[in-house]
């Protein structure tokens, strides 16, 4: 049975407090967990790469008179203290212990992001690039597998594309989320409109943008297809956009995990591990004919 279509387990296997339905196909579950691993290592290795040049600029090169858009570093105050700083456009903030200056091995070290959030934990640009490129290609291949399955099984058309009724209910769905009200019964077997829009944005906007801006930073690809990087403002612009998209994905993940926690940790985890999601029997969706 295609992914996303409710499927009742025979009564002897049903939970006493509800019925289990098939919510996620095996391919969806496997590609989901590969994405979790790949994106985590991509973020951590990417931050290590950022630390080698902890600033973001716009244009073809960072060696210009134009001030960086974002920059971290260390500075000495008037009273002789060393602090970590983060500058965004013309505004500078004290970010000691988080950005610019952090504790590493019992001593304070000037670096962009702290060691605990980077791979490797110590400054090693070449190794960070090896990790980053390997898991970047793993993410691309994994994404292609997911997309091929999703289109062949009609997962995208059936489960992710919002209907007119969905779009008219956006305001109510936002209000329900603000009030921490989550679908129950039959409605819990389907993605709500905010989930649909968020997943579509990640799959067809954020991840392609991440891949494209990553390719734009490759001198080899720029040489093979000269001129195309200029369409996004140059290599430094691509680096800045790559960084911004990465943190937008982090924001999505944080919201996603928060929703999992408040809407039923075990039920959500079980559905992404075994594919089965529990719904109250009196409110279960109509079984397919």
pLDDT in tens, 104-147: 777 788 889 999 999 998 889 999 999 999 999 999 999 999 99
| Any domain includes 148 | no
Mean pLDDT of 254-260: 94
- pLDDT at residue number 287: 46
| Any domain includes 60 | yes
Mean pLDDT of 259-272: 90
Identify the domain containing residue 101 by its residue range: 55-111
- pLDDT at residue number 284: 46
Residues 6+ apart with CB under 8 A from 4: 23, 24, 25, 155, 158, 159, 190
| Any domain includes 44 | no
Most confident of the ranges 67-71, 80-84, 135-139: 135-139
Residues 92, 196, single domain; the answer is: no
Residues 19, 158, single domain; the answer is: yes
pLDDT above 70 coverage of the chain, percent = 89
Q: How far apart are CA 266 and CA 270, in angstroms?
A: 6
Q: How far is CA 113 from CA 38, 125, 246, in A?
A: 20, 14, 15
3-state secondary structure of 56: strand
| Any domain includes 39 | no
Residues 200, 259, single domain; the answer is: yes
> Is a pLDDT exceeding 70 seen at residue 155?
yes
> Is a pLDDT exceeding 80 seen at residue 241?
yes
Q: Within 10 A of 168 (CB to CB), how many other CB atoms are there? A: 11
Count helices and strands in the chain by DSSP H and E runs: 9, 8
Residues 17, 158, single domain; the answer is: yes
Q: What is the pLDDT of residues 173-185, one digit of tens each?
A: 999 888 888 877 6
Residue 5 — pLDDT band, cuts 50, 70, 90?
very low
Q: How far apart are CA 279 and CA 285, in angstroms?
A: 9
| Any domain includes 46 | no
- pLDDT at residue number 32: 96
pTM assigned to the model: 0.85
> Is a pLDDT exceeding 90 seen at residue 263?
no
Residues 177, 100, single domain; the answer is: no
Among residues 25, 239, 254, 41, the alpha carbon closest in space to that of 138 is found at 41
Residues 20, 59, single domain; the answer is: no
Token output for 16: 């006493």
Mean pLDDT of the chain: 86
Residues 267, 221, single domain; the answer is: yes
| Any domain includes 260 | yes
Q: How far apart are CA 123 and CA 118, in angstroms?
A: 9
> Is a pLDDT exceeding 50 seen at residue 102?
yes
- pLDDT at residue number 53: 93
CA dihedral 193, 195, 196, 197 (to 10 degrees): 90
Q: How far apart are CA 167 and CA 147, in angstroms?
A: 24
Residues 161, 274, single domain; the answer is: yes
Residues 183, 83, single domain; the answer is: no
Domain tally for the chain? 2
| Any domain includes 249 | yes
Of 249 and 219, the one with more pLDDT = 249
Mean pLDDT of 249-276: 93
Residues 279, 157, single domain; the answer is: yes
Residues 16, 157, single domain; the answer is: yes
Q: Which residue's structure tokens are 């407090």?
A: 17
Q: Within 10 A of 189 (CB to CB), how many other CB atoms are there? A: 18
**DSSP 3-state percent helix, strand, coil across the chain (nearest 5):** 55, 15, 30
Residues 163, 92, single domain; the answer is: no
What phi and psi values does residue 274 have, to the nearest 5 degrees?
-100, -15
3-state secondary structure of 208: helix
Q: What is the pLDDT of residues 185-207, one digit of tens each?
A: 667 778 899 999 999 999 999 99
Q: What is the pLDDT of residues 7-49, one digit of tens each?
A: 433 443 443 456 788 888 999 999 999 999 999 999 999 999 9
> Is a pLDDT exceeding 90 seen at residue 103?
no
């Amino acid at each position: 049975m295609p992914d996303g279509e409710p499927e009742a387990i025979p009564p002897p296997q049903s939970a006493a407090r509800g019925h289990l339905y098939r919510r996620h196909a095996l391919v969806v579950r496997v590609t989901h967990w590969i994405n979790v691993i790949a994106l985590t290592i991509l973020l951590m290795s990417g931050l290590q790469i950022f630390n080698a040049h902890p600033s973001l600029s716009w244009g073809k090169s960072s060696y210009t008179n134009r001030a960086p858009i974002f920059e971290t570093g260390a500075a000495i105050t008037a009273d002789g203290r060393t602090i970590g700083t983060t500058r965004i456009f013309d505004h500078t903030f004290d970010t000691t212990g988080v950005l610019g200056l952090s504790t590493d091995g019992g001593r304070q070290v000037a670096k962009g992001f702290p060691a605990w959030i980077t791979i490797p934990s110590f400054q090693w640009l070449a190794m960070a690039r090896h990790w980053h490129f390997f898991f970047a290609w793993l993410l691309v291949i994994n994404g292609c597998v997911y997309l091929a399955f999703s289109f062949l099984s009609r997962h995208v058309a059936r489960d992710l594309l919002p209907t007119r009724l969905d779009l008219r209910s956006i305001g109510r769905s936002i209000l329900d989320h603000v009030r921490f009200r989550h679908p129950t019964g039959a409605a819990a077997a389907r993605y709500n409109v905010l989930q649909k829009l968020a997943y579509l944005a990640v799959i067809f906007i954020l991840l392609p943008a991440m891949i494209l801006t990553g390719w734009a930073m490759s001198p080899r690809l720029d040489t093979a297809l000269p001129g195309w990087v200029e369409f996004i403002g140059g290599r430094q612009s691509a680096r800045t956009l790559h960084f911004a998209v990465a943190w937008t994905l982090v924001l999505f993940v944080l919201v996603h995990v928060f929703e999992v926690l408040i809407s039923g940790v075990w039920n959500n985890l079980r559905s992404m591990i075994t594919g089965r999601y529990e719904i109250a029997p009196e409110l279960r969706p109509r079984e397919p004919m």
